[in-house]
Amino acid sequence: MTKSAFKTAAVIVAAGRGTRAGAGLPKQWRPLAGKRVADHTIAAFVTHPRIDHVLAVVHPDDTPHTDGLDIPTVLGGATRDASVQAGLEALDHQSFTHVLIHDVARAGIDATTINAVLNALQNGACGAAPALPVTDALWRGEDGVVTGTQSRDGLFRAQTPQGFAFDTILAAHRAHPGNAADDVEVARAAGLDVAIVAGNERNLKITTPDDFDRLEQHLQNDQRAPMDIRLGNGYDVHAFENGDHVILCGVKIPHNKALKGHSDADVGMHAVTDALYGAMAEGDIGRHFPPSEAEWKDMDSAVFLKHAVDLAASKGFTISNVDCTLICERPKVGPHAAAMMARMGEIMGLTSDRVSIKATTSEKLGFTGREEGIAAIATATLVKP
């Protein structure tokens, strides 16, 4: 499945009572670093550019607390896995290909961990979940006395979000007898393999009163630390040759000439791709796809752009926005700009309001003014929390 075919929902499991967190409101509705626990958790998924939809599963008694969530909610069941299934059933028949299932009490979830799970799914894993290797010595005990030791080799501390192919995990939940500790247990009971990706210490689950203080310290440190924001620019030129169309930003446009190049000569997509590479200090298209190599002859430039997008994700970056200007006298870009923005957004996993495609002329000056070719300049912004 191509990246552009992915449609991912996130189910936030928020129906628990959290009795070990002490007296008072259920932990998901308690204050944490200026917001409620649930607000921190939901914001991490709502603002993530690769998540298409977010749904919360809540306890029937908690509906008065959901007014400010600004996302749809459904009522959960008596157990965690029953609540997860309620969320999945609510999303059925909505064309989601994948789903991330996350515990609301893990309010320190970060974009890098979410990206790691998504990358594993997009690389073909049926399921993927973050975890941390166990590093402490492990004992067995009875009546307060150590009775033995346990090897920590191959042991991991499980975290969420746990991601799966949507139809597969829904079928697994429907077939499971219930009372599973998490969705990985449900998946494995159905015979599914689940890939382990790197977790994060700050992605801790609030369980006891002390956990509020620990996570608040993490969040306050994050607020003091500056975000890693990268800007990159790209520039590309292609000359005209005989032909009957050009391809600009992934859209085929009828024209009395074609653009000359080793690939499909999509000058706009090349400029955006180089802008992404530039923001990461990763050179340009030529470094990654040398024109001297025959395998890239007539290649769809979407392949190059997808590579840059995936490379950014692997480094923990999300794409905030891109801006591309096409410089030519003809063809006229305006009638095709919306289709270009949609296609570029599809490849990059961005909504069209984060993809700017526009055009200008050079007032009939220079090679573009003489209609000898088309130039493009682009800027891209990458962000790492």
What confidence tens digit (pLDDT) does each residue in 263-281 have?
899 999 999 999 999 999 9
Indicate the residue type of 133.
P
At 263 the pLDDT is: 85
Note whether 256 and 160 are same-domain residues. Answer: no
Same domain (yes/no): 268, 184: no
Same domain as 331, residue 261 = yes
Q: Which residue has the higher pLDDT, 295 or 86?
A: 86
How far apart are the C-alpha atoms of 157 and 261, rounded to whole Å? 51
Average pLDDT, the chain: 92
Domain of residue 111, residue span: 3-224
User: 247 near 253, Cβ under 8 Å?
Assistant: yes
Rounded to whole angstroms, the Cα distance separating 87 from 85 reads 5
Residue type at position 347: I
Note the pLDDT of residue 1: 54
Residues 295 and 309 in one domain: yes
Identify which of 126, 356, 377 has the alpha carbon closest to the alpha carbon of residue 234: 377
Tell me, yes or no, whether 91 and 16 share the same domain.
Answer: yes
- Four-residue CA torsion sign, 133, 135, 139, 145: negative
pLDDT tens digits along 156-183 = 999 999 999 999 999 999 999 999 999 9
User: Which is it for the CA torsion 277, 281, 286, 287, positive or negative?
Assistant: negative
The SS3 assignment for 345 reads helix
Q: Do 255 and 120 have their domain in common?
A: no
Q: What is the pLDDT of residue 2?
A: 52
Residue 2, token pair as written in the block: 């191509």
CATH of the domain at 70: 3.90.550.10
Q: Strand, helix or coil at 301?
A: coil
Q: Model's pTM, two decimal places?
A: 0.60
Residues 361-383, mean pLDDT to the nearest whole number: 95
Environment class of 102 (CB within 10 Å of its CB; exposed 0-12, middle 13-18, buried 19+): buried
- Residue 172: which H helix or E strand, with range? helix 166-175
Q: Which of 209, 224, 239 is the last residue of a domain?
A: 224
Among 207, 224, 241, residue at a domain's last position? 224
Do 59 and 162 lie in a common domain? yes
Query: Environment class of residue 24 by beta-carbon count within 10 Å: exposed (0-12), middle (13-18) or buried (19+)?
Result: exposed
Domain count, the chain: 2
User: 177: cis peptide before it, omega within 30°?
Assistant: no
The CATH number of residue 299's host domain is 3.30.1330.50
184 and 317 together in one domain: no
pLDDT digits (tens, 9 = 90+) for 119-160: 999 999 999 999 999 999 999 999 999 999 999 999 999 999
pLDDT confidence of 210, banded at 50, 70, 90? confident
Phi and psi angles of residue 127, each rounded to the nearest 5 degrees, phi first: -145, 155
Tell me: do 241 and 319 sit in the same domain: yes
> Which residues are CB-neighbours of 119 under 8 A, at least 6 positions away?
197, 310, 313, 314
Residues 297 and 379 in one domain: yes
Residues 314 and 183 in one domain: no
Domain closes at, from 224, 253, 272 = 224
> 151 and 7, same structural domain?
yes
